[in-house]
Amino acid sequence: MSTKYDVVIGLEIHAELNTATKIFCRCANTAGGADVSEPNRNVCPTCMGMPGALPAVNRMAVEKSILAGMAFGCRINDVVMFERKHYFYPDLPSGYQLTQLERPQCLGGGITLSTGKLIRLNRIHLEEDAGKLVHDEVRGETLVDLNRAGTPLIEMVTEPDISNAAEAVEFLEEVRSRLVYSGVADCKMEEGGMRCDVNISLKPAGAKKFGNRVEMKNLNSFKMVARAIEYETKRQAKLLDDGKAVAVQTRKWNDASGISTPMRGKEQEVDYRYMPDPDQLMIRITDGDVARIKKTLPKLAHELRAEFVAMGLPEYDADILTRDKDLTKFFINALGSYPSAKPLANWIMTHVLARATNYRIEISPVQLVSIIQMVDKKDISQKNALEIIDEIWGTEKDPKKVAKDKGFTNKVAAGEIEAIVVELMATNEKAVADYAEGPDKVVNFFMGQVMKRTGGRADSVVVKEIVVEKLS
Ligand code: ADP
Ligand code: MG
Ligand code: ZN
């Protein structure tokens, strides 16, 4: 696009918290690994929105939303409050969503992009997710599944600081990384564990006043976010070029056709008839709570990256090893019993990651270290090692046993080598006599003979030692 317009983008990001139970009842939480093999398996009167049920807030959901705020440097609000936000949706039986408006969990904070630009957060609030509608095309019916109803969600709202698709994607990747590393959410985008609404408007370059905004809801991949922003930027620029107004709208992004289409006029806050929920007490978060929760904040990817560099890893390696939480854990774990960071990183980056799809590592740190140690001790060759990795991948097999079974480690004993050398010396008197003049040549000759006799199974280092010892 030309430099005629400034693009203004703000994101609203929803992430499902991975608590064991739902936000206002004791039903198992889908995002926390609940069994959802059947619809409506994890439901009760509270998350089904029955009149008279009394929702009571889950302390872990509150604490995890505070932890999330800490991962972005937010201020933690001292008093928070739930409010009813009214909608009519068939998968929201109570007719309202419990969310936070006036007193959200966290305020401010943000992320600095690699360019040095700060993207500010306005707030992070805690709310409940709705259920799901399941359309049965064969029977022409729509069914309601409330397993997901009451899943704790955090909503992160940015200031309109983002200027293009690349910034949006970098921001989202960092958000996901911090939520996952802080342990509050798994952010499985394919499963809807993290969703993003994009708000976008254009204004004449340098103008103060923002233009009319369009909102695109529930984009569930970063690629979709980028494509939607690029399309919408062009569409709005064309309208403005033609002297037309951009309608304030909620638009639907259709990824298959690569276009956005109008859904409805954008709703206003007043449309939701927000009101404090009379069933909920205000929650006071004390300084003591904040200090206690802060202590439980795990190291984030950028902190671990810096630690890895400090232990001597190249930036490139540190970067790769902190792209996925399970991968980082694997590295740290293996490092515990194999404290040579660079060789270990090489093994992981070249041989382990090559075999893993989406960072699913199907070998344990113990198994890998056992293999590397066998190579270091020259019990097996590098080639043998790769064969063992393939053999044990996805199994619990002991690499040492596999090496033995495959015949990689049945090396010839030193005593046996000695006997062979003595015998060879007796039958090659001339070679023995030549030792003083050309020791290297003679040693090589005897080594070659030993290797021949043992079918290459002898350790060449050991053979050399014995040959030299006997000759001199
Ligand atoms: P709503 O809940 O109605 O969508 P908010 O005021 O919470 O409204 O804003 C949602 C998001 O829209 C925020 O990320 C904000 O930064 C962004 N936003 C607000 N005004 C504009 C604008 N003119 N252009 C682009 N984004 C905007
Ligand atoms: Mg919005
Ligand atoms: Zn329930």
Dump pLDDT digits (tens) for 127-186: 999 999 999 889 999 999 999 999 999 999 999 999 999 999 999 999 999 999 999 999
Asked whether 328 lines ligand 1 (CB < 6 A), one says no
Asked whether 297 lines ligand 1 (CB < 6 A), one says no
The pair of structure tokens assigned to 256 is 């298959």
Condensed to tens digits (0 to 9), the pLDDT of residues 315-332 reads 999 999 999 999 999 999
Give exposure, 204-218, as e/b (b: 16+ Cβ within 10 Å). Answer: eeeeeeebbbbbbbe
Mutational pocket test of ligand 1: of 6, 199, 248, 263, the residue with most ligand atoms within 8 Å of the beta carbon: 199
Asked whether 199 lines ligand 1 (CB < 6 A), one says yes
CA of 157 to the centre of ligand 1 (A): 8
pLDDT at 241 over 90: yes
CA of 215 to the centre of ligand 2 (A): 7
Condensed to tens digits (0 to 9), the pLDDT of residues 320-376 reads 999 999 999 999 999 999 999 999 999 999 999 999 999 999 999 999 999 999 988
Condensed to tens digits (0 to 9), the pLDDT of residues 282-324 reads 999 999 999 999 999 999 999 999 999 999 999 999 999 999 9
Asked whether 248 lines ligand 1 (CB < 6 A), one says no
Which residues are paired to 264 by β-bridges? 250
408 falls in which pLDDT band (50, 70, 90)? Answer: confident
The interaxial angle of helices 325-337 and 301-310, nearest 10 deg, is 30
Mean pLDDT value of segment 405-423? 84
Q: Residue type at 451?
A: M
Asked whether 158 lines ligand 1 (CB < 6 A), one says yes
pLDDT for 143 equals 94
d(CA 201, CA 8) in angstroms, rounded, equals 5
pLDDT for 461 equals 78
Asked whether 159 lines ligand 1 (CB < 6 A), one says yes
CA of 200 to the centre of ligand 1 (A): 8
Condensed to tens digits (0 to 9), the pLDDT of residues 32-74 reads 999 999 999 999 999 999 988 999 999 999 999 999 999 999 9
CA of 184 to the centre of ligand 2 (A): 23
2 falls in which pLDDT band (50, 70, 90)? Answer: low
Which residues are paired to 249 by β-bridges? 214, 265
pLDDT for 265 equals 83
3 falls in which pLDDT band (50, 70, 90)? Answer: confident
pLDDT at 410 over 70: no
At residue 50's C-alpha, the angle toward residues 47 and 56, to 5°, is: 50
CA of 138 to the centre of ligand 2 (A): 34
- Ligand 1 atom closest to the CA of 160, numbered from 1: 16
d(CA 191, CA 198) in angstroms, rounded, equals 19
| CATH code 1.10.10.410 region(s) in the chain | 414-471
Asked whether 6 lines ligand 1 (CB < 6 A), one says no
d(CA 289, CA 294) in angstroms, rounded, equals 8
CATH number of 414-471: 1.10.10.410
Query: Would you give the DSSP letter of residue 266?
Result: P
pLDDT for 216 equals 95
d(CA 201, CA 163) in angstroms, rounded, equals 10
Whole-structure pTM over 0.75, yes or no? Answer: yes
CA of 55 to the centre of ligand 3 (A): 9
Contact between residue 395 and residue 401 where contact means Cβ atoms under 8 Å apart: no
Mean pLDDT, rounded, of the chain: 94
pLDDT at 121 over 80: yes
Backbone angles phi, psi at 465, to 5 degrees: -55, -50
